[in-house]
Structure 1
Amino acid sequence: MKELGIGIGWRPEIADAVEALDGVEWVEVVAENLCADHLPGSLERLRARGVTVVPHGVSLGLGGADRPDAGRLDALARKAELLGAPLVTEHIAFVRAGGPLTASSLLEAGHLLPVPRTRDALDVLCENVRIAQDALPVPLALENIAALVSWPGEELTEGQFLAELVERTGVRLLIDVANLHTNRVNRGEDPAEALAGLPVEALAYVHVAGGLERDGVWHDTHAHPVSRPVLDILADLASRVSPPGVLLERDDLFPAPEELAAELDAIRTTVATAARRPLLIGAGARVSGGAMPVRVPVPAPRAAAPRRSAAPDAGARQRVGLAQASLLSALVAGTPAPEGFDVRRLGVQSRALAAKRADVVAKVAPELPEILGEEYRPAFLSYARNRPMTDGYRHDALDFVEGLLVAGRPEDPAARRALTAWWRDRAGIRPPGPAARLAHRVRTALGNSGKGGKRP
C-alpha cells in the first residue's frame, strides 16, 4: 500500500488554506463533488506539486440490498483515473432503500446509515464489494461509519464483521477513529476491542474528525475540534500498526488556517509518540506487578485472501432490503418504528437526517437561505417531516421551494418574488398556478394518508 503520510480533506471553502498548509502530503476529496472531466484549479495545483488526491465516495451504498448502480461505479472510476489516484474509498453503509426489490417506494436517507451485522447483510455486502472491485481501475477501501442507532439481533461484532469482509473480498479498510469513539458513546462498543479484532495489515489509511456530545448522544459533525478521546483511539491504533496515512476531516464551521495546522500537528505528534509505545497483549489489557509491557509483533502485510465465489442465497437481498426499507421509512417518512429499535434513538437519528438535508440543500442552493433568511431552516425541517427525499439534493431543493410557493410563502412579497424567480430558473417551467397547487395538495394528502403512524 502506498505510504500517504499526513493529509487533510480538501473542501472548496478551505482550498486556499489547504494549499498553504505546511506538511500536507495528500488530500481526500468527496467524489460526488467533482466533475468527471474537470478539476478545480486548487486540486490541479496540488497535483502539480506532487500531492496525492484520493476520491472518497458517499453515495454508492455498498451495504444496501440492491447491487451497486453501474452509472455511479463508472463515475467513480472515471474520477479515480482523472486524479491518478492510487485507490478509491467508500463506506460500509446503506444510503437508500425500497424500490422493486421490496415492492415499495424508493427512499433516500441523504446520509450514511449502518448495516446490520448479520450473515445476510455480510453476504450481500461482500457480493456488492466484488462487483465494485471489478468495475474500478484501482483498489477499493471501505470505511466504518458512525451510528446513532443499533440494529437488534446482530450476529457479529464490528471487528468480526470487518475481518470476515476483508478475508472474503480482499478489500482494504479505512478506519475512522472518530467513528469508533461515536460508537462507544452511542452504542457502548469498546474501541480497543474493535481494533483488536481488525486485520490491521489491510489498513489503507485513517480518518480523524471532531464531533459534539448533546443529550448523551455523540454527533459526528466534522465541524468541531478533534477531541482527546479520539486522539487516544488514534494512539491505540498507531501502537498496533504504522498507518500508511492519517487524514483530518473538516466539513463545516471551518476554523482559521492556524487551527487546522494545530490539529494536523496534534495528529502527527500522536502517531509519532504512539509508534514508540509498546503494545500490550489483548484489548485494553494491563501488565500487573510492575512488569515491563510485552510488545506484540505487528503482522507483516500479506496478500489478499482468495475471494470466495459464493453469492448470497436467493432470499438474502430481499430480507436485507425489507429490513432496511422498514428502518429508513421510519426515519424519513414517519412510519412506525420497526420492532426491537430504540424509539427515542430513532427520533434522534430522524432529526439528524433532516438537519443534514437542510445543511446540504443550503450548500447546493445557497440562494435559498439568502432569500428566506432565518425562516429557511425551520421551513425546511417542517417540509422534511412530510416529504422523504427520493431523487437527490437538487430535486429536494426544487420540491421544497414548490411547497413554499404552493402555500403562498414566504409572506414577504419581495422574498416570494425572488423565490419564484429562483424556482422558474431552475425548474425551467412556470411557477405553480392554482391548478398545480390543487394537484400538489392532493398528492401530499394521498402520500400522507398511507403512513399509518407517527414520527418517532
Structure 2
Amino acid sequence: MPRGFSVSNKRLQVMGNSRFTSGVELATGIGLRVPHYNHILSEKPAVGWFEIISENYMVEGGRALSVLDRILDQYKVVQHGVGMYPGDAGGVKFEHLRRLKRLVRRTKTPWISDHLCWGSVDGSMSHDLLPIPFTFEAAKKTAENLRIAQDFLEIPLAMENVSSYGEFKDNQMTEWQFLAEVCELADTGILLDVNNIYVSSINNGFDPMEYVNFVPAERVAQIHIAGHSRYQRFVVDTHDHPVVDPVWKLYERAIERCGPVATLLEWDGRIPSFEEVWTEAKKSETWRDTALAKREENAAA
C-alpha cells in the first residue's frame, strides 16, 4: 500500500451512512429527460424517484423549471451535477455554488452528486469530465475543495467515479484508493457508477470486480447503471444502450456489499420510449433482490 494512504485497503464492514437515508434507498429511479416529460406528466408512472442534471435547471425560468415544479409535486427528485469540478486547481466556483444552492432550496434534494473530476483552467471551461491524477497532492486539494463546497451548500455531497480512456504515468494509487482517499478526507459520500468502472477497466486494464470489492461500502450513497458503446480500441460511456451482463454482475456485487442503496439507470443518447427505459431500470430489482439475499446469508454465516 502506498505510504500515507488513510483508508484501509481491506473489505470494510458495511455500517451505512445515515446522511443518505432518504426514502429512495429501496426505490428504483431514472433520469428525468425532455423526451419523457409529457408521458410522465400525463401518465404519472410509478417511478421511485427521478434524478435531474442540476445545470439544466439552474435557470431563472422557462419550461424546464415549470416542468420540474410539476414533477416535484408528485415525485422525489435528486440532483446530479456535471459542473462542480472539485479537482480544479483554482478552487471552487462560488457563483456556480450559489446557483446550485438556489436549486437545492427548490428541489429539497436529499443530497447532491457530482463527478470526481476537473474541467477548467484559468476560467476556460472544457465542458468535459476530465480524470484527476491519482496522487496524494491531488487528493488533498480535491478534498479541500469538496469540504468548502459541502459547507457552503449545507447538504451532503456524493462523488461519482468517472469513466476514463487512459491513465497518468505518475499515479500513486489505484482509482478506487483515490476515490476512497478523497471522500474520506472530505467526508463525502460516493456515487458508485458500475458502468464507469467497467468502461475504465476495459480501457485501462484492471479488474473491475476488485474495484467493487475494495471501495469503502459505508460511503456509497447511490449507484448508477448504464449502457455503453464498444469500439475497436475503446469502450465509451455513451449511455445509449441497455446494461450488459458484466455491468449487472458488478451491480449485484455492489449491492451485496453496500446494501439497498438508491439505484438509478442513466439513458442519455438515442433515448427510447419511457416504457423501454423504465423496463430496463426495473431489471435492477431482480439483481438487487439476489444480492440482498446473499448479503443476508453472509451475515448469518
1:37-186 equivalences under 5 Å are 37-38=60-61, 40-49=65-74, 51-97=75-121, 99=122, 107-186=124-203
Matched, 1:26 2:46: no
Task: Structure 1: state its 5+ residue gaps.
Answer: 100-105, 280-293, 298-456
| Conserved 8 A contact 2:54-2:79 | yes
The structural deviation recorded for 1:42 is 3.1
2:238 and 2:260 mapped to 1: Cα distance?
24
Choose the corresponding residue for 2:287, options 270, 295, 303: 270
TM-score of the superposition, structure 2-length normalised?
Answer: 0.86
Opposite residue 15 of structure 1, the aligned amino acid is: Y
The amino acid of 2:23's aligned partner reads E
1:12 is aligned to 2:15: no
Question: What is the Cα deviation at residue 111 of structure 1?
Answer: 1.1
TM-score, L = length of structure 1: 0.57
After superposition, the Cα gap between the structure-2 partners of 1:224 and 1:149, relative to the gap in structure 1 and judged at 3 Å, is same
| Structure-2 separation of matches of 1:108 and 1:32 | 14
Local SS of the residue matching 1:125? helix
Deviations along 1:356-398, one digit per CA (max 9) or x if unpaired, are xxxxxxxxxxxxxxxxxxxxxxxxxxxxxxxxxxxxxxxxxxx
Matched length = 275
Deviation track 1:287-332 (CA, whole Å, cap 9, x = no partner) reads xxxxxxx8268xxxxxxxxxxxxxxxxxxxxxxxxxxxxxxxxxxx
**Which amino acid is 1:76 matched to?**
L
Q: 1:242 aligns with which of 256, 259, 281?
A: 259
User: 1:295 aligned to 2:298?
Assistant: yes
Compute the displacement of 1:189 (Å).
2.1
Aligned equivalents of 1:278 and 1:87: distance in 2? 26
Q: Is the 8 A contact 1:8 1:18 kept in 2?
A: no
Matched, 1:205 2:222: yes
The match for 1:370 is none
| 1:40-79 C-alpha deviation (Å, 9 max, x unpaired) | 3332222212x11112111121111111111011111111
| Contact 1:200–1:241, Cα closer than 8 Å, also in 2 | yes
> In the alignment, is the contact (CA less than 8 A) between 1:54 and 1:80 conserved in 2?
no
* Identity within the alignment, %: 31
Give the match for residue 313 of structure 1: none
CA contact (8 A) 1:89 1:174 kept: yes
Contact 2:224–2:265 (Cα < 8 Å) also in 1: yes
Q: Give the drift of 1:21.
A: 6.5
Distance in 2 (alpha carbons) for counterparts of 1:85 and 1:200: 22
Q: If you compute each CA radius of gyration, which structure gives the higher value, 1 or 2?
A: 1
The unaligned stretches of length 5 or more in structure 2 are 1-19
**1:254 aligns to what?**
271
Structure 1 or 2: larger helix share? 1
Amino acid at match of 1:113: L
**Equivalent position SS for 2:279:** helix
Give the drift of 1:162: 1.9
CA distance in structure 2 between the aligned counterparts of 1:132 and 1:212, rounded to whole angstroms: 33
**Residue 198 of structure 1 aligns to which amino acid in structure 2?**
V
1:426-445 Cα shifts (integer Å, max 9, x gaps): xxxxxxxxxxxxxxxxxxxx
Aligned to 2:5: none
Displacement of 1:238: 0.9
* Structure-2 separation of matches of 1:21 and 1:158: 40
Match of 2:23 in 1: 3
Residues 16/243 of structure 1: CA separation in 2 closer, same or farther (3 Å cut): farther
Higher strand share: 2
